[in-house]
Structure 1
Amino acid sequence: MNEYKHLTEMIPEMEPDEIFYKRIFLEYPAAHLDQAHTVEEIEKLCPEASSHAAAGFTYHPGNALDETILPSDEDTIIFRHNRYAPAFLHSHTFFEMIYVLRGTCENIFTSHTISMRSGDICIVAPSIIHALSAFSDDCVIYNFLIKSQTFEAVFLNSLPKYGTLHDFFSRALYSPGSQFYLYFKSGKDPQLVNLFKKILKEYQTQKRYTSSMINALLEIFFICLLRNHEKNMIVPNPAGKKQEKNIIFILKYIELHYATLTLPELSAFFNYSERQLTRILKNYTGKTFSTLIQDIRLSRAAELLKQPTLPVTTVMEEIGYSNITHFYKIFEKRFHMTPAEYRSSISPDSSLL
């Protein structure tokens, strides 16, 4: 019986490892294996569980997991998370996506815990310390371990490169020391479940071009995830302060109206004071409102300059600048060349201003 056909219809039978972990959990209640511990702490609290985990885990428990543990010929590995496995704290240099198909689990970070339920998806960035606690018979949870280069190709490349969201995710997901993840409440979205079944089937059958097929399906999966559940996405504040539930809406609004938008207009639309909004943008993006607007405009200008017949003056006007001297000055500061030189560098035969 192929498991992918029954992901949401039935609870898988307990595997030998899961039976072992459940027995250890019940026999050693004082060890609290459902709570987050370092590998060293688990070794002291319950040596039997630690030694078994080291032999039976898809990847060995460790404080810091490197991308080299993933097969060199695979961009992504997928496995069902062992129920009752000790919740060991760890970080990794790759991306991890946790998909809860049934039941519940706790995703434990150093500063807080998120309780994940059926349909929830969490994408954990590299370097973040966390532990997964899944201690019930009825939970069905899958882990995707995705190489960083692959994640960038299938997730970040699906976003407009001149947009605020692309810059926001890039900074948050790759900034050293940032405690960042994306948490979606997808509510058992049938479209996502169906895509996941296709991904898992492809992974299990390992046909020709399987890696390329999985990457293509993952890109569709992420696009549908953002399209259908962007409004339900929870993003922690990178500054470690109060979470702002409207941050994605704010960034998207800036992205849509960058050519004419002012800070007073943005503040009024979201009912914040200008001081509040400035602080929120600084916390989440590391930039001021004016810097965000300028970066979007210049990135968009670079995209438009790829069109060889579009005059530079038209490009300037479309992105919201009316002073040509000012536009040339900030463009040269950003790209270290004039707009005409930039156009020639990407299309040598184009000289139209």
Structure 2
Amino acid sequence: MASSYTVENIIEQDNLNSGINSYIKILTPIQFTLETCKMSKDDTYLNFLMTSPRENTFYHFQTEEEIQQFNLRAPHIHDFYELLIVLDGEIRQQIEQTEFVFHSGNCCLMNHNIVHKEIFPSDATLLFIGMSKELVKQLAEDEQKVYFPDIEKPGSNPILKFLTDNMDTPDTKEYLDFLPSLNNKDWYHTLHTLTDNILRAIMFPKLGSTYVIKGMLLELFDYLSDPEHFHFTPVHVEADTDFLLFTHISHLLEDTNGRITRSELEQILNYSGNYLNTIVKKYTNKCLFDYGQTFCMKKAAALLSDTDASIAEIMEELHFTNTTHFYKCFKEHYHMTPKQFRTSIRGRMSQ
């Protein structure tokens, strides 16, 4: 028999006893949920701190059996948008019928029409930001009234556009997947600062706190959509799940100009090198090494056309120690030597 419950004016959950899925409604414009899981012989717990402009509440599970029971619960669907940030550790995220592993630094912006749930296999700290449709609508409307349009560029933020587009097409089952760029070593501190500022405005409100919350949310969107900091990929639930892994591989190769080792990719993505090679071959018909070389040669071509760096300097930047090997690789990709390529590009630019 279906049942429902309300969490302190924050959310309301229907079909609580369903083995298929439950339905969660948000009762506040925005809510934060911090989930911390610890699973060890000496210390086992799962804590939930939920806060919103209306109420705060806290839940505590303190045995391994209780955590396992939580992991076995039915998935849920909700009427709001939810941004997941994995602050530490890793979780398994079930999205519709597929299960993904999300690692520290991964983020996921879930549309309001997707069945999903998080599963704790080990220690992890997660932050969920729930945003009502009304809040998203207000952000979109306020975006058109900015004081500095040349800088704030209304209508250009892809995350806000994703949210508003999904509001217009509510049946679309799509989410955004975020992966920190390899050069972004400060993602934890920046995300912590941005979300902490929003949380402080919620927990210690004063005149203007509503505007602070909205402004900090947009600043968070701007940070997550900046390719220098994060790579994000729109994912259709019906899409081939291998494609998301291929996208992650491609972004990491792009970040390193193709000069990342197979073992480094294995460590970051938690898949074997053989499997990563299979995925790349599936989408490019190239092995992982050859696919990485395309990014390396693309960078070499950019340096030849956009800079005055010598060929020796370019080789050094791309970690080539053998001139003959570099020339051979470049000629395979561009059918001319590096010197001929630079001369050809400069000649076209001067015409």
The structure with higher relative contact order (CA 8 Å, sep 6+) is 1
More strand by share: 2
- TM-score normalised by L of structure 1: 0.45
More helix by share: 1
